[in-house]
Amino acid sequence: MSTEVISVINTEEINAAIQRGVEVLQNGGLVAFPTETVYGLAAYAGNAKGLKALQKVKGRVGDQPFTVHIGRKETVSDLVPDLSGCAMRLARKGFPGPLTLVLPTTAAHIQERTGVDESALNAMIRDGTVGLRCPNHNVARRLLGGIKAPVLASSANPAGHPPPLTGPDVLKTLNNEIDLLIDVGPAQHGQPSTIVRANEYAYSILREGVLDKRTIDRMASLRLLFVCTGNTCRSPMAEGLARKLVAERIGCAVDELAARNVHIESAGTFSSANPASRHAVTVMKKRGIDISGHIAKPVTPELAHVADRVIVMTQSHRQAVLSTLPHVEGHVTLLLGDKDLSDPFGGSEAEYEACAKEIEEALIALVGELDL
């Protein structure tokens, strides 16, 4: 078998390469294709011929599964039932990208959603888990998105050889062993994806690649930052209420949230190290929330940068945050959606109580939308 090579330079050639790649895969052939990490080797799970060819080239038998490659992160739900909050956050932030997620699944779920047979299921599932990869490469995503059933893939090299970084690298070991090579030049990163196993609340790194542990930590975590002016009234009440509501939804104690990769903080646009207001402490205590130890702190670039959502009390707070941190604009929202939350500072306990009720009502809706 002579390996067909398509070198891609312009849009017209990309379209032709994608069309040819889909055709080869559907007919049971093997296609070497580019990703942002290394070149991959793909087979169509809906064709037993391609699957057997991939296993032969990679020297895999029995319980050695292949990673399922997908063109859109929305496809994750077709392969994994009941995604955990941790898995949802990793997929949302890490796909497409140099990340492989190992997630719990069932053969029945995948078969129902994709229609693949038992041999394909055995080649993608191991110990009740499936590996998923959504490459951040236009050619790869279009190729994978052109086929409905799962595409199984690995690096485009025989066992024992280094992963190929260029088209010629692929041909050094697989020329005449595969049907098609789509060559677009050197891979961007030149190292493998990071492999992460995610369970209900936590994760473990099985192999560190392009993404380091610090980056995975940020992806796996949910970080909420509430912002008001002095960080003594509205935002600490919002922080305390959000902690309580999130913990109730997850089914854990408030002090266990960090262990569940959930971090909730508050800060002020113009604050110094003052305690929470007396009435704020009182109205929170009525709800079983203790903010008596709270000390105000200012919004810092680091706090805002790592937050998934920066939730402000007024438009002026939004403007203050964005005036110094314009890059976080997409993460900044008003707590009440389209109106400002009045400041109870200096008011009566009744005014604080009314403010707390508004915060609580808004947070009930917000917490219901979070990836938990």
Sign of the Cα pseudo-torsion (321, 327, 328, 332, in order):
positive
Q: Which of 319, 304, 301 is nearest to 265 (CA)?
A: 304
Residue 298 carries which DSSP code?
B
What count of Cα atoms within 13 Å lies in the side-chain half-sphere of residue 140? 30
Catalytic sites, residue numbers: 228, 234, 343
> What angle do helix axes 138-145 and 11-26 make, rounded to 10 degrees?
40
With a CB cutoff of 8 Å and minimum separation 6, the contacts of 251 are none
Q: Report helix, strand or coil for 341.
A: coil
Joined together, the tokens standing for residue 144 give 């994978």
Task: Give the contacts of 112 (CB within 8 A, at least 6 positions apart).
Answer: none
Contacts of 270 by beta carbon, 8 Å cutoff, 6+ apart = 229, 230, 298, 320
Contacts of 52 (CB under 8 A, 6+ apart): none
Count of all residues that appear for the chain in the document: 372
Place of tokens 């002090």: 255
Q: What is the DSSP letter of 357?
A: H
Angle subtended at Cα 270 by Cα 269 and Cα 274, rounded to the nearest 5 degrees? 115
Cα separation of 152 and 46, whole Å? 10
Identify the DSSP state of 286. T
- Which token pair is 238? 């919002």
d(CA 6, CA 182): 5
Residue 310 contacts residue 321 (beta carbons within 8 Å): yes
